[in-house]
Amino acid sequence: MVPPVQVSPLIKFARYSALLLGIGYGSTRYAYLKPKAEEDRRIEAEEKKKQEEAARIARELAEQEDTILK
């Protein structure tokens, strides 16, 4: 087995700096996108309710038509 290699302090600093910058960027990006995603989910829920209501009305009309024809 090969003994571990000494890593330059400059390389260590660069790696940890990149890690911290990535975490900071991810946190900022998440905070930016979260309200937009919540708004999209709210709009989709409203559209789903409208579609379900339209489907319910269509079923009721279909049931009423069946009783008229009998």
Delimit the domains of the chain by residue range.
37-70
- Cα 37–42–48 angle (5° rounding)? 125
Amino acid identity at 50? K
Q: State the pLDDT at residue 44.
A: 97
Amino acid identity at 58? A
Q: pLDDT digit of tens for each residue in the chain (70 aa)?
A: 888 899 999 999 999 999 999 999 999 999 999 999 999 999 999 999 999 999 999 888 887 776 655 5
Token pair 């008229």 is at which residue? 68
Q: Report CA-CA distances (Å) from 13 to 19, 35, 64.
A: 10, 34, 75
Q: State the pLDDT at residue 68.
A: 54
Q: Enter the pTM of the model.
A: 0.60
Alpha-carbon distance of 36 to 40, in angstroms, equals 6
